[in-house]
Amino acid sequence: MNLPFTIQEYKERVRRVQKEMAAAGLHALILSKPQNIYYLSGNRASYIGAPLTSLHVLVVPSDGDPVLICRKLEEEAVKEQWTKDPQLYLDHEDPYGYLRQVISKLKAAEGKIGIEERNLIKTTYDRIKQVLPNSKLVDISGMVDKIRLTMNQKEVEYTLKAAEITERGFRRGIDLLKEGALYNEVIGEIENAMYKAGQSEQDSSLVLVWGGPEGGGMHDTFVDKRVRSGDLVTIEVHGIYNHYRAASQGTVFVGNNVPSKIKDLYRLVSDMHDACASAVAPGITFEELFEVANRPYKKATGQDYFRRVGGTLGLSLFDISSVRGEKSKVLEGYCLLLQPLTISPLITVTSSGLVTKDGYKVLNGSLRDLVQK
């Protein structure tokens, strides 16, 4: 087996989850979030980067080892995870029958079972209810996520490698930006640089490039165009190593004469980022981080900030977001993405970093000053 952690580490993770289960009176969990399946089993074929289209779950009992349920098609990939006796169903079979058998064998069919409702489509949820009519289904979305947010040394090492991969791709993209450059070629070169730097996964990295006179449309997917003079171009890169993630995002001006409005907004966003980075410390709440960034934004615009200013990184993105009303505390060992931005024009100053006892250790340097190309 080619596991990123020892089996002992996986078993310890399961024990931590089972401790939370005992406190909540749960007899079993049916985990469907791909990152949580990977975290507890090492199963890489759980479509980390996308929602599941077939039943692919990890059943965690109140005591003992988890049981993986997935398609027979993934038999070879399943050999690269540590749990024993995975239940593999043929595509013409009913996978929910396998789920019922596993739950019955655990003597949990009439017990309290935790499910991740936020990661289930309605048809899947309805079928689980149908095959487990005597179970009390309880939404435990976020329970495992919060356990895995605090990273150990090996996870930090993987995150540092992801940061190196991210930086290589991000800087390659900036180098290529110039008038006349094709967006799709810039994106391809960024991806190429990341794989050359050692990126280990193919389904959960992210490379996005938007641009235009006002910065283009955020999350726009059209890339068959060229960079023009006067464009604001934003590059966002998430590099991955063993599914651990680091991220960089920054805005570049193409041309010589930067409008004063863009200079002023860039300085505002940079100030918001730096205020957040300085405020990060174990024990501060995510809401408090939001308010730290909101103060300069409100002073400059007269309005409250309109989105999160960042959130957690790790195996997934924004398990906890830095928004008003989020009372969760930032803890030592968390990885954070700080990502304030404006739209119309689209400008961002972003970094990812580790929370240490001393504050915020930047992994990927933000573009604190506007880059002109």
Give yes or no for a contact between 346 and 229, defined as CB atoms under 8 angstroms apart: no
Lookup result for tokens 């405020």: 279
CATH for 7-147? 3.40.350.10
How far apart, in whole angstroms, are the C-alpha atoms of residue 322 and residue 333? 17
- Kindly report the average pLDDT of the chain as a whole number: 94
State in Å, rounded, how far the first CA of the chain is from the last one. 47
Tens digits of residue pLDDT in 221-261: 899 999 999 999 999 999 999 999 999 999 999 999 999 99
Tens digits of residue pLDDT in 144-189: 999 999 999 999 999 999 999 999 999 999 999 999 999 999 999 9
Question: Nearest Cα to 263, choosing from 345, 176, 179?
Answer: 345
Which pLDDT belongs to residue 31? 96
Tens digits of residue pLDDT in 296-344: 999 999 999 999 999 999 999 999 999 999 999 999 999 999 999 999 8
Domain ranges in the chain with CATH number 3.90.230.10: 150-372
- Name the band, by pLDDT with cuts 50, 70 and 90, for residue 364: confident
Of 49-58, 84-93, 177-186, give the lowest mean pLDDT range. Answer: 49-58
Give yes or no for a contact between 71 and 56, defined as CB atoms under 8 angstroms apart: yes
Three-state SS string over the chain comes to CCCCCCHHHHHHHHHHHHHHHHHHCCCEEEECCHHHHHHHHCCCCCCCCCCCCCCCEEEEECCCCCEEEEEHHHHHHHCCCCCCCCEEECCCCCHHHHHHHHHHHCCCCCCEEEECHHHCCHHHHHHHHHHCCCCEEEECCCHHHHHHHCCCHHHHHHHHHHHHHHHHHHHHHHHHCCCCCEHHHHHHHHHHHHHHCCCCCCCCCEEEEEEECCCCCCCCCCCCCECCCCCEEEEEEEEEECCEEEEEEEEEECCCCCCHHHHHHHHHHHHHHHHHHHHCCCCCEHHHHHHHHHHHHHHHHCCCCCCCCEEEECCCCCCCECCCCCCCECCCCCEEEECCEECCCCEEECEEEEEECCEEEEEECCCCCCEEC
The reported pTM is 0.94
Domain ranges in the chain with CATH number 3.40.350.10: 7-147
Q: Does domain 150-372 have CATH number 3.30.465.10?
A: no
